Structure 1
């Protein structure tokens, strides 16, 4: 899994430079001249932001694939790009004909690139229903924008429940069970907590928000941050903080890691990127997040972040690029990425491969993905993160009511979206 890497960097989220991502609200804006094609190179190039075992596994797949090519076909070269610089590099390079044939990146930037029209290529021509059905549910929701599929899902990440087996014999199935267990295991005077997670981080809070049936945008794309269901979700966090006292006061990621690694946090919400940071002496398990009885028994539904394979708009040979992308999502490739790279592939069949089927952590995250919600890929989503994080900090510091915090957030985000659209129109 991803080790020692900021979670947003690991997933390619929240890249800067969103101007140009709101080119219109109707048909996709296409460049008049189209992207420039790069000079024909001796290799098919794929950019990625992987490191360590993930990087080695992808490079191994490139070697395997290249070794099977017929004479005259271009071998694949995998090029590592720093993940925090990759989005800007793609946006700057591909339209000028200096980018790769393929690249792997988080699905959250998809809408902006699709609107610009000279960066990525839709893949519907290559896809059929049988191909789509081979993937886990929700994966193609993440890479679909305005009824077109713009990337091939490669791997995914979401939060789930991680628990210390010495403290928790059986993971809770409902919020009430989790609360009762957390109360028993909390001793604030000794710095022990039944539950710990970065609860003021909007990404982690989304599991409650979505579980209540709320969200950022409604089905028509209208902003709904001040929806009563979002307010109810924040009220629950305030209840945990103020009334039950089961959460630590300072919910930084470093504190959560320290508490869990020293046996002072029984349960945490975290993603697969955290697994490499768990101390070897901690015997831990993973399970799906509990159901919310007050929300018609709906499960908590964390955000699903999909790292997808994009085809550059300027690739010389789309069929050649697609062939390698398709190979990367084969059972053979998915097994290598899962077993050797520590990834969570999007392909259904890989979870039946013995080495993966016998991995309870991978199976738990797969099960969690079934109830997860794909992060919105609308260009406007980039305007949401900072104000939403600010709203959660106000809520969790008990500075204001949930209703006031989300009403203020709604106004701030709406104003930012309108200002950007007005600037593009002028």
Structure 2
């Protein structure tokens, strides 16, 4: 990065963000994923100007285009729902690209309701060249004919540079439609004044939770929002799943899924404040009333504002019958999609390739916005490894369960949340197997119309 650009980037506020779905979204994340009948959004969007065009450098500036830079020419229009701090960094990177490629203009357009805008515009030929969102839109948009394949551009040398989860996130039914640039999932955030080091086993975690749990004083062992997204790690820890992308079938009635739900309500719920509410659970941690919180990168800015000396680590493994089971929370990947009807595919591809495969770009996104990199050279970068937040969530991503891409997943979220809400009516006495079987059938009914 040029010295001037790097200084400009440092002006941006450091906020960790698409998810989703995973629960990750394409925009920034500042509040919680909420229960929903479709993919849970980890990033409510905020309105910003409807269109921001990043112009080329002034003619008085001198730039050098490396001989290997093949830029193309023309305008590239990108729709997004990013937070302002994210957009500032993206624009700065686009300005650097345009300094190298003066024949290219990159225009970012904010769409507060990105999905509706895309569905209205793409079929009429009025859509963008590219749009930014989480990978879990890839199935429904591809099935609707609203994505442009990039199979001719994606080569093995490109794929080999990405983490496996990212490669999976850019394809659907044998075609590539997007390029990945970051990932996210939930992890264990701990208060170092209360707990010096992250627990290395769930048994150790539960022991610490029990020590701090004092409900009469409104102090608890852990702060953990409860909905289908947030407890997915434990629900899927023993090999169970909400939905299998390969068979397109729900799995709430699977013995392993039932075991995961029972484990959560037997070994986590007793140490929690009796509420599923995201804001309440987060406040408990921010106020120093719990040593642990399970949350995503989007929560870190609030943790820092609270002045908490904190660490981040994966949810620790559960040992059962001599075998180790890692919690598998849903993970999401941020993608840049190619829209059907793209007007400048060649130039768009060259920009996206530069943006997603340049270690300098991805490292800058990580350092400035806390994005978890999926590009292998950046994952191995010493500066990234030394960042406790990026490294902690990066380790958590290694155990994540990629959020399903099939459009049929939209019928699953509501069913899982329905089951959770029924269990929460009486967690100590709930017939969890019967409840999960009930909602398994409900999901199947909804999927079959």
Tell me the TM-score normalized by structure 2: 0.81
Question: What CA distance in whole angstroms lies between the structure 1 residues aligned with 2:196 and 2:33?
Answer: 32
1:257 aligns with 2:282: yes
Q: Which moved more, 1:85-94 or 1:214-223?
A: 214-223
Contact 2:373-2:394 within 8 A present in 1 as well: no
Specify whether residues 361 and 291 from structure 1 end up closer, same or farther in structure 2 by C-alpha distance, changes over 3 A only: same
Residue correspondence of structure 1 range 200-219 to structure 2 within 5 A = 201-218=227-244, 219=246
Kept after mapping to 2: 8 A contact 1:159/1:272: yes
CA distance in 2, matches of 1:79, 1:55: 10
Aligned match for 2:78, one of 39, 46, 49:
46
Shift of 1:122: 2.0
CA displacement, residues 242-289 of structure 1 (integer Å, 9 cap, x when unaligned)? 7xx211101311112211111111111110000011144211100111
Instruction: Give the aligned partner of residue 108 of structure 2.
Output: 78
Partner of residue 318, structure 2: 292
Q: List per-residue Cα deviations over 1:51-88 (Å, max 9, x = no partner).
A: 13211111111111112115xx3311122222xx1111
Tell me whether 1:358 sits opposite 2:358 in the alignment.
no
CA distance in 2 between counterparts of 1:143 and 1:394 reads: 36
What is aligned with 1:388? Answer: 416
Alignment partners' CA distance in 2, 1:416 and 1:144:
26
C-alpha displacement of 1:4: 6.7
Distance in 1 between the 2:261 and 2:306 partners? Answer: 34
Unaligned runs of 5+ in 1: 16-40, 420-426
Match of 1:403 among 419, 429, 433: 433
Structure-to-structure mapping, 1:26-425, within 5 angstroms: 43-70=75-102, 73-82=103-112, 85-117=113-145, 119-199=146-226, 201-218=227-244, 219-240=246-267, 245-278=270-303, 279-294=305-320, 296-329=323-356, 330-398=358-426, 400-419=430-449
How many angstroms apart in 2 are the aligned matches of 1:144 and 1:43?
Answer: 26
Deviation of 1:144 after TM superposition, in Å, equals 2.2
Deviation (angstroms), 1:14:
4.7
Q: Deviations over 1:162-191 (max 9, x none)?
A: 001011122112221111111111111111
Cα distance in 2, alignment partners of residues 349 and 300 from structure 1: 26
Match of 2:51 in 1: none
Map of 2:46 onto structure 1: none
SS at 1:125 equivalent: coil
Preserved contact between residue 250 and residue 412 of structure 2 (Cα < 8 Å): no
Q: Structure 1, residues 296-349: CA drift from partner, whole Å, max 9, x if none?
A: 312111111111010011112322111111111111211221122332232122
Residues 108 and 376 in structure 1, CA contact (< 8 A), matched pair in contact too: yes
Distance 2:447 2:294 in 1: 31
Q: Which range moves more in the overlay, 323-332 or 293-302?
A: 293-302
Contact 1:158/1:305, CA 8 A, preserved across alignment: yes
| Structure 2 contact 74–347 (Cα < 8 Å) conserved | no
Larger proportion of helix = 1
Distance 1:282 1:149 in 2: 42
Q: Which residue of 2 aligns with 1:424?
A: none
Instruction: Work out whether residues 13 and 106 of structure 1, in 8 Å CA contact, stay in contact via their aligned partners in 2.
Output: no
Q: How far off is 1:241 after superposition?
A: 5.8
**How many pairs were matched up?**
384
Give the Cα separation in 2 of the matches to 1:179 and 1:66: 53
Question: How far does residue 231 in structure 1 lie from its aligned partner after superposition?
Answer: 0.7
Go from structure 1 to structure 2 and tell me whether the alpha carbon gap of 1:395 and 1:217 turns closer, same or farther (over 3 Å shift): same
Question: How many angstroms does 1:370 deviate by?
Answer: 1.0
Kept after mapping to 2: 8 A contact 1:137/1:370 = no
SS in 2 for 1:123: coil
Contact 1:101 1:311 in 2 (8 A): yes
Tell me, yes or no, if the aligned pair for 2:76 and 2:344 is still in contact at 8 Å: no
Alignment of 1:5-44 (within 5 A): 5-8=30-33, 13-14=39-40, 43-44=75-76
- 1:353 and 1:322 map into 2 onto residues whose CA distance is 26
> Would the alpha carbon gap of residues 258 and 288 (structure 1) be closer, same or farther in structure 2, given more than 3 Å must change?
same
CA distance in 1, matches of 2:210, 2:258: 24
Structure 2 unmatched runs, 5+? 1-15, 18-27, 42-72
Answer whether contact 2:134 2:335 (CA < 8 A) is retained. Answer: yes
Bigger shift: residues 52-61 or 349-358: 349-358
Show CA shifts across 1:98-123 (max 9, x none).
Answer: 11101111111211111111x11122
Query: How far apart are the structure 1 equivalents of 2:39 and 2:440?
Result: 21
